Amino acid sequence: MEIILHQYNHLDSTNEEALRLISDEMAGEGMVLWAHEQTHGRGTGENSWESEPGRNLTFSVILQPHFLEPSRQFALTEMISLALFDVAERRPGHEFLRIKWPNDLYFNNKKLAGVLVQNMIKANQIDFSVIGVGLNVNQKKFFSDAPNPVSLIHLSKKEESLSGLLDEILKQLGYYYEKIKTDIKSLEGLYLQKLYRMGEWAGYSDEAGIFTAKITGINRYGQLLMTDRQGNLRVYGFKEVKFLDKVS
């Protein structure tokens, strides 16, 4: 994957800018949009993304994975989660790192990074994929009501170079992007090995209420598979299940 890096001092949101470039037919594979400040950083759903200007990484990667069947688009989520995990793993304290389904990076039950993947499907093909990453790097205090944030500096105990870190992430991303083409199964295996609460009993809630279950895997569509105390199999899509803090 050849990288074409665009840097911005301010943007509303790197994902929004990527979508605009795509609709203006100005986007291409490997374009990376990196903003030092986002005025309207987007989180998943209706959430916003807090990031102190110049202290963290906020960027989006534009890809054109035409080779990937839309039903396997979760591989893109696995790819970015694994790339972020690998880079964070090079820092001290890495034994507490986990990928929280579907694509948050967690350190010690706290959120280190969030990812917003937006895929555009056309004629049963993934025409474009926009992979937006918010990685907390050097920010020590958070002011919004974002639940439990943490930064890489809490692992490394020293300021990190943002451009060096971006470079590391993009290299790992390139590695896993090739893996999707040649050995998609290996991504699934690695992702499961790093999954937060895999095989552990813990509390969750869905629209029917609170329950205790353990995660048993992910299916090929990226849905979360769980078994509850009664032995029932439960299958959840994104936002259909909430992780509760305390084991019940």
* Position 49 contacts ligand BTN (CB under 6 A): yes
**Which residue stretch of 108-116, 162-170, 207-215, 232-240 sits at the interface with ligand BTN (rule: CB under 6 A)?**
108-116
Nearer to ligand BTN, 14 or 151 (CB): 14
* Position 65 contacts ligand BTN (CB under 6 A): no
* Position 116 contacts ligand BTN (CB under 6 A): yes
Give Cβ neighbours of residue 33 (< 8 Å, ≥ 6 apart). 6, 8, 11, 14, 17, 18, 21, 59, 60, 62
Measured in whole angstroms, the distance separating CA 33 from the mean position of its chain's CA atoms is 16
* Position 101 contacts ligand BTN (CB under 6 A): no
**Closest C-alpha among 187, 237, 77 to residue 226:** 237
**Binding test (CB under 6 A) with ligand BTN, winner from 27, 41, 102, 165:** 41
Q: Tell me how far CA of residue 73 lies from CA of 26, 84, 112, in angstroms.
A: 23, 18, 23
Q: Sign of the C-alpha dihedral, residues 239, 206, 49, 95?
A: negative
- Whole-number Å distance between alpha carbons of 29 and 52: 29
* Three-class secondary structure of residue 101 per DSSP: coil
**Which residue stretch of 75-83, 90-98, 132-140, 230-238 sits at the interface with ligand BTN (rule: CB under 6 A)?**
132-140
219 CB neighbour count, 10 Å cutoff: 11
* Position 55 contacts ligand BTN (CB under 6 A): no
**Helices (runs of H) and strands (runs of E) counted in the chain:** 5, 12
* Position 60 contacts ligand BTN (CB under 6 A): yes
**Binding test (CB under 6 A) with ligand BTN, winner from 1, 28, 44, 202:** 44
* Position 197 contacts ligand BTN (CB under 6 A): no
**Which residue stretch of 24-32, 128-136, 154-162, 171-179 sits at the interface with ligand BTN (rule: CB under 6 A)?**
128-136
Q: Which residues are at the interface with ligand BTN (CB under 6 A)? A: 13-15, 38, 41-44, 47, 49, 58-60, 104, 114-116, 132-134
